[in-house]
Amino acid sequence: MKIMLKIKLNKLPLSIKIAFICFYIFVILGFIFAHLILHFKLNGSFSPSDIISYYKGNEEMLKFQKTPLELSETSHFHAFISPVIALILSIFFSFSQINEFLKNFIIILSFLSVLMLILNPWLLTFGPFFLVYLKYITSFTLIFSFLFMGIITIYEFFKL
């Protein structure tokens, strides 16, 4: 038996729309502050070598390689909060009126990006140099998918 919820985002109560929009504003603020923190930790540079030295260390700059404990703390935090954000955005986005294939693609992309966000510190610390480019790809796909899902959802909230 197939049960299909026929929820239209523009028919939701105003209180749910307000709650989602407030949540989404905090998600965007979180991304801004996360990138500011990284910006200051990397001394204003997002170059591949500076990112690698942040994780693998750099004796000349007196930076030390991230320990497994530090990596675990970072992964632990991201493993709890990032999938929850992706889930909330995905649930609302799944009720949008856009193409089902595109909807599924964006949702899968967001969760793969979250997985890579969790794995990136480990890969950058213990993996080869070229994996630093995964950090850029992960950041782009995560920001893109979260922005896309949020903007489409908010647009459809107020669509006539």
**pLDDT tens figures, 57-97:** 887 777 788 889 999 998 898 899 999 999 999 999 999 99
Predicted structure pTM score: 0.86
**pLDDT tens figures, 94-106:** 999 999 999 999 9
Phi, psi of 98 (to 5 degrees): -75, 170
Neighbours of 11 (CB within 10 A): 9
112, pLDDT greater than 70: yes
- Cα 44 to Cα 40, 55, 131: the distances in Å are 6, 16, 21
1, pLDDT greater than 60: no
* Burial class of residue 148, CB neighbours in 10 A (0-12, 13-18, 19+): middle
Residue with token string 């193409």: 99
Q: Can you tell me the distance from the alpha carbon of 89 to that of 142, in angstroms, rounded to the nearest whole number?
A: 12
In the chain, domain spans = 12-157
